[in-house]
Amino acid sequence: MEPAPAAPSRPDPNPRAEDVLLRGRASPSAAEPGLPPTAGQVIRYLWQLTLPEFWIVAIFPVYIGHVLGSRSMLPSVESILGIIIMGPLIMGSTLMLNEYFDRTIDTRNPRKARSPIQRGLLEPENALHAAGGLMAIGFLLSFAIGPPFALVVGAAILLSLAYSLPGVRFKALGGADLFVNAVGLGILCPLAGYYTVPRPAVAEFPWLFLPVSLFGLAAAYVPTTMMDYEVDKAMGIRSISVRLGLPRAYTLGTLFLATSIATIFTLGLLDLPPFSRQLIEKIGALCATTVVLYAAFIRRMNYRTYWTYLAMISISMGASILLWLLWYTGAWVL
């Protein structure tokens, strides 16, 4: 007697988001043969790999640095060029380079399911060559602003390479990954913005602002490693979250932001530039609210809720920064 045929399996009526994203994903090697992508498609895929939604993390500190140097909210030609260099060119190429070297790891990362590399739409070598080209263009353009700005851009490129390149790969070294992002975004970007001001005086830069920026950007980086905790741990990437564990990473991120805000309060209460006691009296509660929102949200943050929680935190922090800059430039008189 022949065995009865097996009943067809029914699809899960409540599939997990991870399964939906991973199901049907084509790896680069498994892509169906066909016509090569057009030039327009390649450009679009490369654009996607620069992750434009993350450029703001570099652009905003550059803009703040320019305002600190010029005492004007209006951008100059030099500042716009500086923003293009540090944003789309350097930040974009850094993210693209990371996409290339993480292409094997990202096959297990639901957050990268829409990547053109993971979908088999673009040969990975295109991303590698484009990232190198963008870095070279950004560095050469930086001399149009001035040698100090070019020096900062060169340092940013070195940190970018150290973050992703095999043999160095600070991304996989818990602590080193945090250092690269905190210094690159929290120190180099504001300095780059300051050096877009014609003939900037090094002595006049408000150096006490840098701890605020350093700890603030460190706090912004930690949740990104928490989202990728499971994938990084499985693939042997010892990011700061994998090295410390999620509870300690949560505590560390919260402490970073609290330290940044505490520095603002301390400088303001002492009337040390670029803050003042009167300013703290006006925006102190809003600054403190940012810490509360951060502490409440990042514990629950994952790749499905990241943008919602980030938007809530950004609105609070962005409002504080906007009011501070309006006061600093004299547009808001207390």
- Tell me the three state secondary structure of residue 50: coil
Q: Higher pLDDT residue, 226 or 303?
A: 226
> Region 17-42: what's the mean pLDDT?
59
Domain 38-206 belongs to what architecture? Answer: Orthogonal Bundle (1.10)
User: Considering the chain, what is the average pLDDT of its residues?
Assistant: 90
Banded pLDDT at 22 (limits 50, 70, 90)? very low
Place 14 in a pLDDT band, splitting at 50, 70 and 90. very low
**Residue 190, preceding bond cis, omega within 30 degrees?**
no
Both structure tokens of 157: 């490129």
- Predicted confidence at residue 33, as pLDDT, reads 47
pLDDT at 149 over 90: yes
Which tokens sit at 279? 């300013």
CA-CA-CA-CA torsion sign (222, 228, 229, 235): negative
**pLDDT digits over 44-57, tens only?**
999 999 999 999 99
Q: Is the pLDDT of residue 6 over 80?
A: no
**What are the backbone angles phi and psi of residue 173, rounded to the nearest 5°?**
-115, 105
**What whole-number percentage of the chain has pLDDT above 90?**
82
Is it the case that residue 256 has pLDDT exceeding 70? yes
Residue type, 179: F
DSSP 8-state symbol, 33: P
Which residues are registered as beta bridge partners of 40?
Answer: none
Q: What are phi and psi of 198, to 5 degrees?
A: -60, 130
For residues 166 and 151, give the distance between their C-alpha atoms in angstroms, rounded to a whole number.
Answer: 24
Higher pLDDT, residue 3 or 282: 282
**Which pLDDT score, from 0 to 100, does residue 19 have?**
47
**Residue tagged 């975004």 (tokens):** 185
Q: What are the structural domain ranges in the chain?
A: 38-206, 211-334
Got the DSSP string for 124-161?
HHHHHHHHHHHHHHHHHHHTTT-HHHHHHHHHHHHHHH
Q: Reduce the DSSP state of residue 238 to 3 states and report it.
A: strand
The values of phi and psi at residue 76, to 5°, are -95, 175
What is the structure's pLDDT at 139?
98
Tell me the C-alpha distance between 122 and 115, whole Å.
Answer: 9
Rounded distance, CA 31 to CA 52, Å?
A: 26
Q: How many CB atoms lie within 10 A of CB 94?
A: 27
User: Is residue 65 predicted with pLDDT exceeding 90?
Assistant: yes
